[in-house]
């Protein structure tokens, strides 16, 4: 009897202890969830973009645009004069080339334009990678290599691509590095980025360097236009649609360009162009305003970046940074609420490991068990055995960060429309206004682009938004550059019958 009593008492004690453990685990677990929920709620509040705040951002963008046009250094927006005063009209005719140098690869294109009503008849391109030693060598070595590839491309041309006798080939040069432009076809290199470091090219006119190398190849080709990819996107958009007034790139980075009246540019001291227009490259990624909804995660990302204090708008809305913001929030939840267990998964601590395409895939996961989220957490961050509850938190985070970015991008566009007087009807006129958009973020992150377009409607109102159209304009850095070579051709006005 005594033994039985001991066994029963011991068993009861074990059950009580086990029950206490379960209760403690539940309390701890509910404490963790409460902390995780609190972090998300705080993020949602700090990332809030109510319509009133977005209007303030749009107004601030327009004010900064005015300031940047008034004087050099007058604003965080550089408002660079592109020297593009003739955008394509769709009537351009003939054979034109483009060279797109923006990273470790470059592209050479040729485009045959058919004139009014015929558009682009044919286009061909080749892509070439740049050997690493040339990225840190000399200016001559780099441009000689590029010109040799250009000459090879021209040498392979068939009879369809012959120019009329006495005509020089003409090329648009997209050079996606910081340049101080002094005319439509000249500009000095300010500094290299993206892994290039060629000291003797800094301070040189990149068009002169390329032209010298082309001449060495015995190639009769003139660089007609030095362009930025955003200006090229604007040109590509205007070629197919005369109502295009601005272009926005939403990709890894972000930028905008638009058509300004030349007399509204106080810092322009040259003769007014015949067209009366001038394309402005805004460099809007550098926009900064007290109205931007910044969080602790944005501040730490900026502080630890290669360019602290710069490109704040870009760090909120572009593809380079959205996934990284989500990673930083997940890291905090893992540290403070043990979302993925008692230790923080090592991969979650690696900056930029969570790319925006992964974030987009998780945000778009419609499966009942969020399988895509589970797989990305496992394959990218090496976090296994996540519960559905945890996966739902991840999707919610993606939604908060993407929504803020998309709504701020829309506010930026409204700021540009405001500056050119297209954000409201004047005297009952209903003119169609088109904004050309390009970039992988806009093209592939559907939740982002859908939210951005809905926000535009919300900001502009039903009536005005009916006349504002967003159109996808593809390959501004390639075709756009060739089109600008055509619209700035030395043979303009020569009868091409």
Residue 5, pLDDT > 90, answer no
Query: What average pLDDT does this structure show over 30-56?
Result: 93
pLDDT > 70: percent of the chain: 92
Between 411 and 191, name the one with better pLDDT: 411
Query: What average pLDDT does this structure show over 11-37?
Result: 59
Q: Three-state SS across 410-425?
A: HHHHHHHHHHCCCCCC
CA–CA distance, 349 with 331 (Å, rounded to integer): 7
Residue 244, pLDDT > 80, answer yes
Contact between 482 and 77 under an 8 Å Cβ cutoff? The reply is: no
Residue 218, Ramachandran bin (φ over 0: left; ψ between -120 and 50: alpha; else beta): left
Taking CA atoms, 110 is separated from 126, 129, 226, 234, in Å, by: 9, 18, 16, 19
Contact between 79 and 280 under an 8 Å Cβ cutoff? The reply is: yes
CA–CA distance, 190 with 201 (Å, rounded to integer): 9
Catalytic residue of the set 85, 144, 205, 229? 229
Q: Annotated catalytic, 422?
A: no
Structural domain spans, the chain: 49-81+241-473, 83-227
Q: What is the DSSP string of 320-379?
A: HHHHHHHHHHHHHHHHHH-TTSSS--GGGGSTT-S-HHHHHHHHT--STT-HHHHHHHHH
| pLDDT value of residue 231 | 93
Question: What pTM, to 2 d.p., does this model score?
Answer: 0.87
Cα separation of the two ends of the chain: 117
Residue 28, pLDDT > 80, answer no
pLDDT grade for 2, boundaries at 50, 70 and 90: low
Query: What average pLDDT does this structure show over 446-453?
Result: 97
Residue 461, pLDDT > 90, answer yes
- Average pLDDT of the residues of the chain: 89
CA–CA distance, 486 with 497 (Å, rounded to integer): 16
Query: What average pLDDT does this structure show over 324-348?
Result: 94
Contact between 478 and 163 under an 8 Å Cβ cutoff? The reply is: no
Using only C-alpha atoms, the chain has a radius of gyration, in whole angstroms, of: 28
CA–CA distance, 140 with 206 (Å, rounded to integer): 11
CA–CA distance, 74 with 273 (Å, rounded to integer): 24
CA–CA distance, 259 with 281 (Å, rounded to integer): 9
Could you please state the CATH topology (level 3) that the domain comprising 83-227 is classified under: Nucleotidyltransferase; domain 5 (3.30.420)
pLDDT grade for 493, boundaries at 50, 70 and 90: low
Catalytic residue of the set 116, 152, 191, 194? 194
Could you please state the CATH topology (level 3) that the domain comprising 49-81+241-473 is classified under: Hexokinase; domain 1 (3.40.367)
Q: Annotated catalytic, 438?
A: no
């Amino acid at each position: 009897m005594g033994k039985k009593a001991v066994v029963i008492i011991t068993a009861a004690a074990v059950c009580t202890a086990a029950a206490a453990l379960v209760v403690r685990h539940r309390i701890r677990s509910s404490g963790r969830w409460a902390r995780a929920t609190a972090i998300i709620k705080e993020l949602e509040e700090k990332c809030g973009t109510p319509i009133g705040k977005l209007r303030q951002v749009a107004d601030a963008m327009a004010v900064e645009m005015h300031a940047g046009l008034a004087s050099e250094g007058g604003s965080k927006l550089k408002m660079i004069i592109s020297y593009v005063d003739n955008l394509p009209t769709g009537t351009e005719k003939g054979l034109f080339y483009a060279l797109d140098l923006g990273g470790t690869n470059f592209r050479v294109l040729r485009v045959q334009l058919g004139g009014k009503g015929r558009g682009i008849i044919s286009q061909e391109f080749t892509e070439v990678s740049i050997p690493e030693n040339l990225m840190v060598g000399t200016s001559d070595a780099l441009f000689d290599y590029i010109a040799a590839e250009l000459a090879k491309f021209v040498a392979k041309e068939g009879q369809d691509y012959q120019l009329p006798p006495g005509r020089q080939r003409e090329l648009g040069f997209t050079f996606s590095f910081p340049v101080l432009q002094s005319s439509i076809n000249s500009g000095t290199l300010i500094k290299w980025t993206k892994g290039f470091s060629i000291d003797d090219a800094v301070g040189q006119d990149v068009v002169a360097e390329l032209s010298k190398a082309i001449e060495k190849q015995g190639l009769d080709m003139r660089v007609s236009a030095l362009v930025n990819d955003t200006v090229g996107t604007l040109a590509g958009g205007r070629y197919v649609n005369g109502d295009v007034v601005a272009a926005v790139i939403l990709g890894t980075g972000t930028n905008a360009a638009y058509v300004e009246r030349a007399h509204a540019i106080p810092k322009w001291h040259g003769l007014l162009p015949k067209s009366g227009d001038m394309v402005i490259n805004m460099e809007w990624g550098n926009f900064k305003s007290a109205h931007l909804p910044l969080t602790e995660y944005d501040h730490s990302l900026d502080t630890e970046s290669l360019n602290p204090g710069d490109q704040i708008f870009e760090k909120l809305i572009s593809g380079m940074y959205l996934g990284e913001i989500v990673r930083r929030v997940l890291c905090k939840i893992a540290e403070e609420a043990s979302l993925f267990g008692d230790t923080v998964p090592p991969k979650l601590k690696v900056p930029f490991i969570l790319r925006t395409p992964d974030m987009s895939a998780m945000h778009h996961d419609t499966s009942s068990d969020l399988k895509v989220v589970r797989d990305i957490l496992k394959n990218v961050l090496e976090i296994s055995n996540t519960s559905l509850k945890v996966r739902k938190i991840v999707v919610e985070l993606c939604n908060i960060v993407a929504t803020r970015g998309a709504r701020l991008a829309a506010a930026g566009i409204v700021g540009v429309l405001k500056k050119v007087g297209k954000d409201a009807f004047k005297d009952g006129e209903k003119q169609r206004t088109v904004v050309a958009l390009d970039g992988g973020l806009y093209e592939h992150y559907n939740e982002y682009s859908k939210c951005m377009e809905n926000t535009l409607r919300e900001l502009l109102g039903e009536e005005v938004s009916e006349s504002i159209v967003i159109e996808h304009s593809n390959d501004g850095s390639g075709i756009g550059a060739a089109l600008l070579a055509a619209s700035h051709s030395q043979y303009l006005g020569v009868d091409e019958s």
